[in-house]
Structure 1
C-alpha cells in the first residue's frame, strides 16, 4: 500500500523538520512500530560503516576478538571448548598451507564439511589471505555436487570427515580437474588420487598471517558463496561479498546479542542461517554452541547444560520441538531470545509460551537478495515491516506488488507498470538493486542473474530484485510470508527446485514427463513435493517401477527434495503456451476422494512408493513424512 499524499509530504525532508514525536504518532499510529528497528538499525548500521571505513572486513573482526579475548570459548562442540586463540592458530595453519600452494586473493577454494570446528577454522584461514570459500551443500551428490564445484571455479576441494562425504566426492572424482584434500585421515595416507589435509595441518606453522597478504581486499571482494536452488534446477552460488558479510555480522544484534552470550546453532554451516549466527558471534566476541545435527529430544537439554542464551531457528525446527512430549524442565533455561525465519503464525505463541521464550525476532531475506526485513516488535506471524518510512530508507526501495498466479508473473497495468498491493492482498516482494550489485547476484552466467531482475517496474529504467515470495501486509505495515511462487517451494527448511526434481525423474527411461509441484501437508510447514507422471507408451507403474523411482530419487536427490507423492496421469497438463500447468494440480493435492488418477506416497518403512487410497489416507498422514 503506497503512502497517501499526506504521508508522502510529511515523509519528505521538509515535513520531518519540526514535527514532534507526539504529532507523528497522532498522524501516523504505525510510526511507533518503526522506532525499535530504526534505533537498532542506526546503532549497528553505524558500526558496519565504521568497520568499513577502518578497512576492517569479516576476518579482521574475528582477529580483533581473538586478540582481545584469546582464552575465551569461541566454539563449544561435543562438550569440547575451542578458544578464540586456538581457532586463530588453526586458521593460521590453513592460511600458511594455501599460501604454499600458491593460492592468493581472488582465488576460490570449495569446502565440503559438516558442522564441526574445522569448518570454521578452514573458512577463516582462507579468508586470511583473501581466498573466497565455496560452501558446498553436504546433501548434494552426483551432478548437483559436480556443478557446484565447477561453477565456483575452485582451485582446490577440501572434504571433511565422514564416509558419506567421501563417497559423494569419489562418485564424481573422475570428472574433477582439481586436487582434493581429505580431513579425517590422521597420520595415515589418503586413498589413491587424494591427499591428506590432516598431514598438512600437523606440519603447518601457526605463525600469524600479515594483513598485507590480503591488502587488495575491498568491499566488493567475494567472501564466500552460499548455494541456493532456484528455477534453473541446479544449485547457484550466491555471491556474499565483503559488504554483505559485514552486514551479516551484525545480524544477531537485532536480538540484543552481547559479549557474554552463548548462541546455539544446529542448522548446517553451509546454510545462510548458520552463517549469520557465526559471523555475528565472531564480531561480538561471543560463544557458539555447535551441534553436528539437530536433535529435538536433546535440544533444550543442550541449552540447559551449556547455559545457552540465544537460539537460532527455522520454522520447522520449532515445530519439531513442539512435537516432543512436554517435560517438567521445558521452561528451565537461560534463553533470552530466539532469532530466525519461517516461524509460522499457528505455532508462534505455542512455541513462545511452552518454552518461555521472552523474545522472538523473525526476519525475511535471501542469500542473494538485496534487502532483508525484521520483526523486532513481537508481532505474531510477521517477518518484518514495510512502512512508508522504512521502505524509503532502503537505498533503492522495497515493495509488495500485485501478482498474477495464473500467468506466474507480476501483474502489469495498461501502461505496463506494476502496482502495489492493498492491505491484506498477497503480492510479490521486491527490493531495489543498489548500483554496486551491477545485477550480479550469483557467480556464473549473467542470464541466470537476469532472471531475478524486474525492470521498468514503476518507471522507465528502474530495476528490482525478485525474491520469488508472496507476502501480504496488515494495516500497521507488518508483512507476512504467504508462499513461494514459480518453480520452487520450501520443505524441511530447504528450497526445492521443481525443475531439478523433474529432470531427475525424467532421466528414467520409462517416464515421459514429470510435472513437479508443492502441496501442503497438515502439521508441517512449507510444501511437500508431488510429481504428476506421464509414462512412455505401453509402460505401466508396476511395483518394480515404483521401487526404481524410490531408489533413483534416493540416490540422486537430497531427502528434502524427493517427491512424497506421485500421481499417474495419461497426459501431461500444459498451458496454451506449452508450459506445464500446475494450478489445478496444486489445488487437487493428493486427496483420493476427489482424484481418480492412481496416487502413491513415499513409504520410508517399505522403502518404496505404495498406493494411496481412501483406506490408507489416514495412516499415511500419521506416518513419517
Structure 2
C-alpha cells in the first residue's frame, strides 16, 4: 500500500505538469500528493472522522450497495456510531483487539470502522481459512472478542480444537435479529461526543491484516490509522472519485485492497461502493452494468477470466471509466482493454506491511509502476542484486548491497526512516518483523525493508515484476506459503513426505501449487482430496500431484524444488504418475490431458 512523499514535492512536479503529457500522468501524481500533504498536521483526524464529514455533506446519497441492503452515507455513519457505543458499553477499551470473521457486506465495513473509531484494533480474518490455519490467525491476534457471521459457524467449530485460549464470540447474521445487530440497535446513531470516546491518533493501531509473506503460516501485519489515511487519500488522488462514481468491489474485505483502498478511496469523494461477496465471471458484466459502476478494483486473475469468457451482451453496456489493481499481465491487459473498451487501466504494486508502493499512472502495458523524475530523490525504492545461493541480496567487498543495473532482476527494497510513511509497523511477531529488515544496505546503520519480490527497472524508470523470492508463490491472487500446504499434506494418512512448489500453467496468472508426495501403501487419492478441501482454502490446494517412492534431497538434506518445478506436470519428463485436480477429484495426466493444459484450453 502507498508510501507518500512530502508536500514540497508538489512544487517539484510543476515542470512536468506544465508540459503536454498524457492526461493520466502528472495530474494523477499531483492529485495524490495534494490529498496526502496535510494528513500529519492533524494527528487526531482519523479515517472514521473523515467519513463523518462526508456523511454530513452527502446525507441520503448511497454509500454502500450490497446484495441485501443499501446504506446511505447518513445510515452508514449512524451504524458505525452504534457499533462504537456498543463496544464501549461492553467494556472494550482503546488498545483492545477484536477479531472479525464475516463475509463481504456493508455491515463488515461499519463494524471495523465503528470499533476503530474508539481505539479498538480489528483483526480481519480470512474467511477461507479452516482448522489450524484459522486458529493460528486468531491466536496471534489474541483478541478479547470474536465477531463472527452465523454462516461461518462451522469454520469456527473447526478451529476450536486448535486454540489454547478461547475469545468470547458474538454472532452477527444477515438480519436485525442477530445478537450483535439487536444489541447495537439499542444505541444512539448520533456522532460521538468528545466525552464519549477516547482520544485516538494516527499512530494508534487500527487493523491487523494477514499476509502469508515468504514462509510459514499467515502473519498479522499491523496497520495504523496513519496507514489507513495514507492508503485511502493517496488512491483518491489517483482515481479522482466524485459523488457520481460507484466502485465495483468483489475482492475480499479482509484484504487491504478490497477492504480499505477500494471502498475508502471512493467514499472519500462522496461516491458509493457496490459490494459483492465474490467474483463471478458469468454475472460480472450484467452486475456491473445494472449497478451503474464506474470503477472496478481488480486482481489480474479476474481480468484474465473475463477475457477467456464467452461474449456477453452486457459487456458492451457498462459505464466503467477506470479499472485499478495489480497483477495484470501484458497479454491480459491488452486483450482486456481492447475487448471491453475500458478507457484507463491503473496498475500498482504494494504490500500490506510494505513501506513503498509503485503506480503506473501512465498506463504503460506490463509495468507495475514508475518513479517519475520529480520524485526520484525522495523515492524509497531500490533494486539490489540477488544471490540465488543464499536467498539474500548480494554484498560487495565493503559489505554493501549492490544496486541492480537497468534491466537486471534484483530484490526490491524499501527505505525505512522515522517518518510515518517510511516506518515499518511490523507484525505481531517481533521475530517475523526482524526478518523483514535489512541493515547496512547503502551506508552503515541504514535500514531497508525486504519485499521478497524480484523486480527489474528500465531506463525510463518503469518497474516490472519478475518473481517471488523463497517458497511462496502466487495463485488466484493470493500468496501461498508452501510450508502451510506441506503441513496439511503431512497430516493425511499415507503421506510420508511432501515437497510443495509452484509451477507455471499456460494461459494462467501466477504459479499453481504442485506437490511431490512420497506415499505409503495406505495412501488414498480420494481421502487426500477430501482432507485438503477441509483444511485449506481453494487457492492453496495443490492443483497438481506427483507421486514418488522417494523424494530427492541435497547433500545437506534439503528438499530439491528447482528440478521438480522445472519438470512440472509433463508426463514425458518423468515416469512418476501425475494428477490434476479437476471436476472435484484428482485425475491422471496422460498425453492428451497434458496437451490440453499446454494449449491453455482446459478450464481450471
* TM-score > 0.5 by shorter chain: yes
User: Is the contact between residue 107 and residue 155 of structure 1 (CA under 8 Å) also seen in structure 2?
Assistant: yes
Q: Report deviation, 1:187.
A: 7.2
Secondary structure of 1:349 counterpart: helix
User: Is the contact between residue 152 and residue 443 of structure 1 (CA under 8 Å) also seen in structure 2?
Assistant: no
Q: Does 1:412 align with 2:401?
A: no
Q: Which residue of the other structure, out of 302, 310, 319, is the alignment partner of 2:295?
A: 310
In the aligned structure 1, how far is the partner of 2:562 from the partner of 2:390?
10
Q: Which residue of the other structure, out of 155, 160, 164, is the alignment partner of 2:144?
A: 155
1:127-184 CA-partner distances (Å, limit 9, x unpaired): 221211111101011111111112112111001242xx11011223463522101112
In structure 1, the residue matched to 2:40 is: 52
In the aligned structure 2, how far is the partner of 1:252 from the partner of 1:79?
27
1:595-615 CA-partner distances (Å, limit 9, x unpaired): 222222213x2x332322324
Q: Which residue of the other structure, out of 62, 69, 86, is the alignment partner of 1:73?
A: 62
In structure 2, the residue matched to 1:3 is: none
Q: Does 1:220 align with 2:203?
A: yes
Q: Which residue of the other structure, out of 214, 238, 243, is the alignment partner of 1:259?
A: 243
Using a 3 Å threshold, how does the CA distance of structure 1 residues 374 and 211 change in structure 2: closer, same or farther?
farther
Deviates more, 1:461-470 or 1:367-376: 461-470
Q: Report deviation, 1:97.
A: 1.1
Q: Does 1:171 align with 2:154?
A: no
Q: Which residue of the other structure, out of 259, 275, 286, is the alignment partner of 1:290?
A: 275
Using a 3 Å threshold, how does the CA distance of structure 1 residues 513 and 387 change in structure 2: closer, same or farther?
farther
Deviates more, 1:169-178 or 1:493-502: 169-178
Secondary structure of 1:94 counterpart: helix
In structure 1, the residue matched to 2:590 is: 613
In structure 2, the residue matched to 1:320 is: 305
Q: Report deviation, 1:36.
A: 6.2
Deviates more, 1:63-72 or 1:615-624: 615-624
In the aligned structure 2, how far is the partner of 1:415 from the partner of 1:516?
37
In structure 1, the residue matched to 2:223 is: 240
Unpaired segments ≥5 residues, structure 2:
1-7
Deviates more, 1:447-456 or 1:517-526: 447-456
Q: Does 1:338 align with 2:323?
A: yes
Q: Which residue of the other structure, out of 570, 579, 597, is the alignment partner of 2:576?
A: 597
Using a 3 Å threshold, how does the CA distance of structure 1 residues 187 and 417 change in structure 2: closer, same or farther?
closer
In the aligned structure 2, how far is the partner of 1:578 from the partner of 1:130?
49
Q: Report deviation, 1:34.
A: 11
In the aligned structure 1, how far is the partner of 2:15 from the partner of 2:175?
64
Using a 3 Å threshold, how does the CA distance of structure 1 residues 119 and 208 change in structure 2: closer, same or farther?
same
User: Is the contact between residue 439 and residue 449 of structure 1 (CA under 8 Å) also seen in structure 2?
Assistant: no
Q: Which residue of the other structure, out of 399, 404, 429, is the alignment partner of 1:445?
A: 429
In the aligned structure 1, how far is the partner of 2:139 from the partner of 2:503?
33
Using a 3 Å threshold, how does the CA distance of structure 1 residues 96 and 407 change in structure 2: closer, same or farther?
same
User: Is the contact between residue 501 and residue 557 of structure 1 (CA under 8 Å) also seen in structure 2?
Assistant: yes
In structure 2, the residue matched to 1:5 is: none
Secondary structure of 2:209 counterpart: strand
In structure 1, the residue matched to 2:498 is: 514
In structure 1, the residue matched to 2:408 is: 425
The 5 A counterparts of 1:80-91 are: 80-91=69-80
User: Is the contact between residue 236 and residue 442 of structure 1 (CA under 8 Å) also seen in structure 2?
Assistant: no
Secondary structure of 1:303 counterpart: helix
1:201-228 CA-partner distances (Å, limit 9, x unpaired): 3433334322454443222211111111
Q: Report deviation, 1:278.
A: 1.4
Q: Which residue of the other structure, out of 265, 269, 276, is the alignment partner of 2:253?
A: 269
In structure 1, the residue matched to 2:133 is: 144
Q: Which residue of the other structure, out of 477, 482, 487, is the alignment partner of 1:493?
A: 477
Deviates more, 1:165-174 or 1:110-119: 165-174
Q: Report deviation, 1:389.
A: 5.0
In the aligned structure 1, how far is the partner of 2:395 from the partner of 2:560?
21
Deviates more, 1:594-603 or 1:151-160: 594-603
In the aligned structure 1, how far is the partner of 2:316 from the partner of 2:497?
51
Q: Report deviation, 1:552.
A: 1.5
In the aligned structure 1, how far is the partner of 2:175 from the partner of 2:236?
36
In structure 2, the residue matched to 1:94 is: 83
Using a 3 Å threshold, how does the CA distance of structure 1 residues 531 and 83 change in structure 2: closer, same or farther?
same
Q: Report deviation, 1:20.
A: 10
Unpaired segments ≥5 residues, structure 1:
1-12, 26-30, 191-195
In the aligned structure 2, how far is the partner of 1:205 from the partner of 1:103?
18
How large is the RMSD of aligned CA atoms in angstroms? Answer: 2.7
User: Is the contact between residue 221 and residue 428 of structure 2 (CA under 8 Å) also seen in structure 1?
Assistant: no
Q: Report deviation, 1:108.
A: 1.2
In structure 2, the residue matched to 1:527 is: 511
In the aligned structure 2, how far is the partner of 1:614 from the partner of 1:346?
27
Using a 3 Å threshold, how does the CA distance of structure 1 residues 470 and 33 change in structure 2: closer, same or farther?
farther
1:531-560 CA-partner distances (Å, limit 9, x unpaired): 11223xxx24x7x52122211211110000
The 5 A counterparts of 1:530-545 are: 530-535=514-519, 539-540=520-521, 545=524
In the aligned structure 2, how far is the partner of 1:369 from the partner of 1:34?
29
In structure 2, the residue matched to 1:114 is: 103
In the aligned structure 2, how far is the partner of 1:41 from the partner of 1:575?
49
Q: Identify which of structures 1 and 2 has the higher relative contact order when contacts are C-alpha pairs closer than 8 Å and 6+ apart.
A: 2
User: Is the contact between residue 354 and residue 424 of structure 2 (CA under 8 Å) also seen in structure 1?
Assistant: no
Deviates more, 1:414-423 or 1:341-350: 414-423
User: Is the contact between residue 58 and residue 242 of structure 1 (CA under 8 Å) also seen in structure 2?
Assistant: yes
User: Is the contact between residue 252 and residue 339 of structure 1 (CA under 8 Å) also seen in structure 2?
Assistant: no
Q: Report deviation, 1:624.
A: 4.1
